[in-house]
Amino acid sequence: MEFCLHENSIFRANPDYKLVLVDRLSEPDRRQLHEADCSEDLYGALVPQGGSAQGWRAVSCETALLFTALLEAGPLPRYALRCLGHDLEPTIKRLLVDGVLQILLSNEFTCGPQVAELFGTLRSHSSRSCNFDLAVSALRYGQELSCLPQTELGRRLYSYGRKPVSPKLQRRLNDPAAVARFLGIAEEGILARSLHRHWTHVSVSHGALEFWWQWLSKSEPPRETAQRASFKLYLSPVVDDMPEALETLIRALPRTQGVTGFKVGVGLWGISRPDKIVVYFAQLDDLYRFADLLRTRLSGCAAHGVPFSAAASENGLLSWGADPPHGATKGERTTSWRMWVTWRLAEYLVSARTAALSTMEPWQYALERLSLAGIDTDTWIPADGMWPAALERA
């Protein structure tokens, strides 16, 4: 039976949750809730009541109102039908899959990942990009790691596609300084003059470990000051083609509008990752124009390919993502596009483990659930204006 949302469908608030206003929480719980969701629209939390509900959920005022309205089972309130408009179906499906609401089917109230099997697909499959198969391979790999907790599973998905380092390459590029010389970005390298003239070098490290060589534009404001999403272009050549690709990039950047900075993975570990070169833009149109330019100039470079990114070239050499707005994901481990995506996908894979799905594999469920956040998982293109709904935890 396929799910069909219509005005006679009967819903109820999940009785395994109790809605608690943020003001009624203890100080430690209130502080923890604000760390998870710092939005002005935060109403409070859905607190599990010993049933099947999975953990606390921060809720917006809109979700809290709908939850309260459906404490007594019945059709969706007219105000919800009117206010949600075109967002009605994805919003209700998201609340059902996440277990916030339940729907009456075959004389029984149900919710959770099993409900997703009744939806049919939200995706057309008509325009799958070259990165779709790469993402599916990563998710199938993650599905097999059934013993891993969500945190580690998210890390594995994020790192998927990293190339193994051969002993020969290890001997040739045995430290970050050797890699910098190989790439031409060392102090005596062919790109040093251009870097000093147009860019300010900053270190991106965690403790004693440096992860990125990063440069910020001397003419554009830094992306960290923006309160909106920033856009990132991934340049992903194979290791042997990195010097050519990086030189082409750095020579072209000074004449490119809207670039706020770029970074390169540090050392052999950094250049073996898929997302080894990242360029930041304030506007998506500027990113597209620069990608068009690079495609023609880098036609001879072999592609590595970045999972969970939207294609900007047919072979996977160029792709892009949209970071969440700065400060919007307080409490998240990072505000990176791919980190946010892989963290969500790990969460959905874990949810599917115990759901006893009959017609859908966990990786398929993870894609369907992510699509409810406004991401076309055939192309990995984020929907315009997706972040307010995507960042809401319920």
Domain ranges of the chain: 1-120, 162-304
pLDDT digits (tens, 9 = 90+) for 109-161: 999 888 888 776 545 555 677 789 999 999 999 999 989 999 999 999 999 99
The span from the CA of 20 to the CA of 36, in Å, is: 16
> What confidence score (pLDDT) does residue 226 get?
43
Cβ atoms within 10 Å of 388's Cβ, excluding its own? 13
The answer to whether residues 123 and 104 touch, using CB atoms and an 8 Å cutoff, is no
Cα 257–261–262 angle (5° rounding)? 115
- Residue 293 has a pLDDT of 95
Q: Determine how many CB atoms are found less than 10 A away from the CB of residue 36.
A: 16
Instruction: Give how far Cα 234 sits from Cα of 133, 312, 369, Å.
Output: 18, 9, 25
> How would you classify the pairing of strands 259-265 and 310-311?
unpaired
- Give the model's pLDDT for residue 1: 47
Taking only the tens place, the pLDDT of each residue in 166-213 is 999 999 999 999 999 999 999 988 999 999 999 999 877 776 678 899
Q: How many CA within 13 A on the CB side of residue 47?
A: 13
CA dist 318 and 304 (Å) reads 10
Mean pLDDT for the chain? Answer: 86
CA atoms within 13 A on the CB side of 334: 14
Structure tokens at 39: 């939005």
What would the DSSP string read from start to end of 76-103? PPHHHHHHHGGGHHHHHHHHHHTTSEEE
Is-contact 46 100, C-beta < 8 A? yes
Q: Using CA atoms of 356, 358, 362, 365 in order, give the dihedral in degrees to the nearest 10.
A: -110
Strands 101-105 and 108-110: antiparallel
Count of Cβ atoms closer than 10 Å to residue 72 Cβ: 8
pLDDT value at position 89? 86
The per-residue DSSP string of 115-150 comes to: HHTTT--S---SS--TTHHHHHHHHHHHHH-TTS-H
Note the pLDDT of residue 330.
Answer: 46
Nearest to 373 by CA among 392, 360, 351, 355: 392
On whether the CB atoms of residues 12 and 304 are closer than 8 A, the answer is no
The torsion angles phi and psi of 182, rounded to 5 degrees, stand at -60, -40
For the chain, which residues score pLDDT lower than 70? 1-7, 34-39, 51-54, 120-127, 207-208, 221-229, 326-335, 385, 387-394
Q: Which residues contact 147 (CB under 8 A, 6 or more apart)?
A: none
pLDDT at 126: 55
| pLDDT for 297 | 96
Cα–Cα distance measured from residue 218 to residue 65, given in angstroms and rounded to the nearest whole number:
48
Whole-number pLDDT of residue 325 = 72
